[in-house]
């Protein structure tokens, strides 16, 4: 595990218990805002990011802080993701679920070095499940090593996000995948999607929009668990590149099969 694992996981659990969970199903109307059309933010997102930023700065004062909500207010902060070291923070992934009083939602953090993902944490506050990965060191759930496994059904299970693509493209892509996979709904929460691929609940997840705080933590976790992650053209996922989409799968074979279906 990464050398900062104990400190970061303790920080995440504390913020979950003192900031996030007390407001779950307990938000006033004025505490839920639309920061952009269709994108919600709550008072818990902002307070959690502040607390996580303070804690991570104490753990590694030299690392830049790149938080989702801070970048929403000042997009220029995104450039700091390519710093020598940078913390990437998604204070509540699945905010729409959280704001509506539903699970899943999660807290996600990644540590980057010159744009490379070196460590990540994906926490489910309701289940108390901490996923962690260290580059070259493996993947862990609640500190136990884990390897990605298939769902084991007669046909593999695929979930396809419709965010960032036209309704027509999504419908056509879904129809192609339905010929080879059993389709399952995407839970609107990357903090849930990546663990599902490792735990044998889903086999494939397709994403068009790939914001760094949504995907960097889960990408490393899945890759270190032996799964497959690549851009839609098969190239590696890299922070700051101009690649399109992500294909994530429990095995390389399923990832390549899914990639072949993306464009017919």
Residue-level pLDDT at 28: 96
Instruction: State the average pLDDT for the chain.
Output: 96
- 152 found inside a domain: no
Q: Is the pTM of this model over 0.85?
A: yes
Q: What is the pLDDT of residues 240-249, one digit of tens each?
A: 898 999 999 9
Q: What is the pLDDT of residues 19-34, one digit of tens each?
A: 999 999 999 999 999 9
214 among the known binding-site residues? Answer: yes
Q: Per the structure, how many domains does the chain have?
A: 2
43 among the known binding-site residues? Answer: no
Residues 62 and 168 in one domain: no
CATH number at residue 43: 3.30.540.10
Residues 197 and 131 in one domain: no
> Which of 89, 119, 145 marks a domain boundary?
145
Residue-level pLDDT at 247: 98
> Which of 145, 165, 186 marks a domain boundary?
145
Residues 137 and 162 in one domain: no
Residues 30 and 77 in one domain: yes
68 among the known binding-site residues? Answer: yes
> Which of 95, 114, 145 marks a domain boundary?
145
**Complete edge-to-edge strand list for the sheet that includes strand 204-207:** 182-183, 157-160, 204-207, 246-249, 228-230
- 42 found inside a domain: yes
- 150 found inside a domain: no
| pLDDT < 70: residue spans in the chain | none
109 among the known binding-site residues? Answer: no
93 among the known binding-site residues? Answer: yes
Residue-level pLDDT at 36: 86
Which pairs from 211-215 meet CB under 8 Å and 24+ separation?
211/68, 212/66, 212/78, 212/81, 212/88, 212/110, 212/239, 213/66, 213/67, 213/68, 213/71, 213/88, 213/89, 213/90, 213/93, 213/108, 213/110, 214/90, 214/93, 214/108, 214/190, 215/190, 215/246
In 3D space, the residue among 176, 167, 254 whose CA is nearest the CA of residue 208 turns out to be 167
User: Cα separation of 158 and 213, whole Å?
Assistant: 22
- 151 found inside a domain: no
Range of the domain at 253: 157-261
Residue-level pLDDT at 32: 96
Residue-level pLDDT at 114: 96
Residues 19 and 71 in one domain: yes
158: left (phi over 0), alpha (psi -120 to 50) or beta: beta
């Amino acid at each position: 595990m990464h050398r900062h694992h104990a400190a970061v996981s303790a920080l995440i659990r504390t913020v979950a218990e003192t900031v996030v969970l007390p407001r779950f199903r307990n938000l006033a109307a004025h505490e839920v805002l639309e920061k952009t059309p269709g994108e919600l933010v709550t008072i818990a997102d902002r307070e959690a990011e502040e607390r996580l930023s303070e804690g991570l700065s104490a753990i590694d004062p030299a690392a830049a802080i790149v938080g989702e909500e801070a970048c929403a207010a000042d997009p220029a902060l995104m450039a700091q993701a390519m710093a020598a070291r940078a913390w990437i923070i998604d204070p509540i992934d699945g905010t729409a679920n959280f704001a509506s009083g539903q699970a899943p939602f999660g807290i996600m953090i990644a540590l980057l070095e010159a744009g490379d993902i070196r460590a990540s944490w994906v926490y489910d506050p309701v289940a108390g499940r901490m996923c962690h990965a260290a580059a070259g060191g493996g993947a862990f759930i609640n500190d136990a090593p884990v390897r990605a496994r298939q769902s084991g059904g007669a046909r593999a299970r695929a979930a396809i996000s419709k965010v960032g693509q036209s309704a027509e493209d999504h419908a056509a892509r879904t129809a192609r995948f339905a010929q080879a996979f059993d389709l399952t709904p995407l839970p609107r929460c990357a903090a849930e999607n990546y663990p599902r691929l490792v735990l044998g609940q889903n086999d494939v997840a397709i994403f068009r929009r790939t914001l760094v705080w949504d995907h960097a933590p889960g990408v490393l976790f899945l890759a270190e668990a032996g799964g497959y992650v690549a851009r839609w053209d098969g190239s590696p996922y890299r922070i700051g590149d101009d690649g399109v989409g992500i294909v994530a799968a429990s095995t390389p074979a399923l990832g390549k099969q899914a990639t072949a279906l993306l464009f017919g």
